[in-house]
Amino acid sequence: MADKELARVRGRFVEKVSKALIKQLLDDLLEDRLLNDGETDSVLEDNTGKADMARCLIDMVRRKGDKASRKMIEHLENRDPTLYSELGLTCKPAPEMMSFSVPAPQNQQAWSNSLVTTTDSFWNEKRKSKDVYTVSDVSLRSRVALLITNRNFANPSLTRKGAEKDEENMEKLLRSLGYEVVKHNDLTAQRMNEVLRNFTEHPKLRDTDSVFVVIMSHGKREFVLGVNHSEEKPDEFPVDNIYKHLGPQECPALMNKPKIIIIQACRGERGGSVMVSDSASAKVVSDDVSQQLPANAGGNIVDDAIRHVHKEKDFISLLSSTPDTVSYRREDLGSFLIQYIAEVFNTCSHEDDIDELFRKVMQRFEEFPDDTKRQMPTKDRCTLTKRFYLFPGH
């Protein structure tokens, strides 16, 4: 019986569960109508500490019997598979609920649609490590991200159908990770540069532990395209400007803090298998705009006279494709890169650092859903000197 399973793991559940996970379980059980508003409020308001909240919750559910207990175990498995495994929970469905569907292969990852939260034990362990970037309660409340989405171009044939889904998915993910999202849409290259420069003056940067900068548009190697782009009058934002503006000379508030860059845009016109372009009927399309590749425009960062710092440190970037190649998106679901980032981060960010998360996203592309096309994201300009964990739920 499920209520006996909860009784068996009660002590370890109270010790290991996080306050964020308790709130999520309460929301789930309230939605299932297994708890009412008064009961959920009593768990949170009548108990002063996390341990007391956990005891109140698990005892309240156990008293409601097998159905409520089974539901709580199911939600726990979905919300925090690691804790579920650590507790050694098993809960066979009641006979009337059993199905005879074919189980998924053992090596197939089950991707979560909601964010799995970090356990208190993992949080406390990693915070003590010298090999991990510092994250504190204050910095978690000061997280901020910049999200730029170019969908509608002056040339209607360049409209990026599905980009609105990417924007929705990325904003949801960033907010669930505790980031305030500064959002902009349909920018020229000049405006992208201005927006990025303004972002470096955001008041939260002094206290944050990290930033995300996500740019989604058409592109080519070393450039993201603004919405006024044409062959006659190129509208091009140099990717190098991201690193220049967020570097220590222009943004000292982010010195020694992880800066995570995600760019969903083509880096050239070659396909991994065949070339495609946007059309009214195409389901899988690319962000390629055929242009000559311009030379890379670099520059030196002049340091101050007091001390020397690295001109580009604590960055990690994930670009949607390898150099000179296109990247793809579904017009109904958005780009494959953003879909896979959301799935991997929801499922694994509670225990994997950012570098490992990006590797798992890249691994998703080894089995691309279209046999005639190929795409491989690229980690670029990685200068992280420590591991950065997102610690979702804290």
Question: Is pLDDT of 342 > 90?
Answer: yes
**pLDDT tens digits for 5-32?**
888 888 888 888 899 999 999 988 888 8
pLDDT at residue 174, rounded to an integer: 97
What is the mean pLDDT of the segment spanning 305-328? 72
Fold of 122-380: Rossmann fold (3.40.50)
Which of the residues 91, 251, 266, 348 is marked catalytic? 266
List the CATH code of the domain at 2-95. Answer: 1.10.533.10
Structure tokens at 139: 């910095």
pLDDT of residue 278: 43
Q: Between the CA of residue 295 and those of 34, 67, 239, 268, 298, what are the distances in Å? A: 62, 65, 12, 13, 9
Give the mean model confidence (pLDDT) for residues 218-228. 91
382 as an active site residue: the answer is no
pLDDT at position 103 is 41
* Of 172-181, 284-293, 381-390, the least confident: 284-293
Separation between Cα atoms, residue 377 and residue 42, nearest integer Å = 47
> Among residues 218, 245, 350, 394, which one is catalytic?
218
Domain parsing of the chain, residue ranges: 2-95, 122-380
| 310 assigned to active site | no
pLDDT tens, position by position, 49-97? 888 898 999 888 888 888 888 888 889 888 988 888 888 876 554 443 3
